[in-house]
Structure 1
């Protein structure tokens, strides 16, 4: 197993461990930190193992951080609706 995949697995384990610890802000600060750390790891995985493994790791990370992805989708839809209304 390559170093990038080991780092991705460690990232996933740490994300699960951080999710088990109670938080006052619904884990948003931890999610932001995981995103900041995870994006370079995702790039490294894609560089070392190719785009298909990179997509697999991306989808695994999105399943762990699903609420930031859901809020991003809602924000993009709302932004698209306001742009349609302006036109």
Structure 2
């Protein structure tokens, strides 16, 4: 098994463990996982090809759709859908 697949499996396990934490403890490790994901996806693409990278990107976008949607709306200057909206 290639190193990128092993690191990807470790990333998935870490993301699962972070999801089990209370919400107030999820922010720091969640941001770290969010930052590491594009690096890992690029490594997957380098070792296994663009199809594996696209599969990894689809999984990443699926897992982080709400935080990515929040940051995209915030970047564009739109309401983020917080409490009271």
Q: TM-score, normalised by structure 1?
A: 0.73
RMSD value, Cα = 2.0
Aligned to 2:70: 71
Q: Which has the larger radius of gyration?
A: 1
For structure 2, the 5+ residue unaligned runs are 79-85
For structure 1, the 5+ residue unaligned runs are 80-87
Q: 1:3-82 alignment to 2 at 5 Å?
A: 3-24=3-24, 27-75=26-74, 78=77
Q: Which runs of 4+ in 1 moved over 3 A?
A: 75-79
Report the Cα offset of residue 6 of structure 1: 1.4
Count of residues in Structure 1 that have an aligned counterpart in Structure 2: 78
**Post-superposition CA distance 1:30-50 (Å, at most 9, x none):** 221102222221111010011
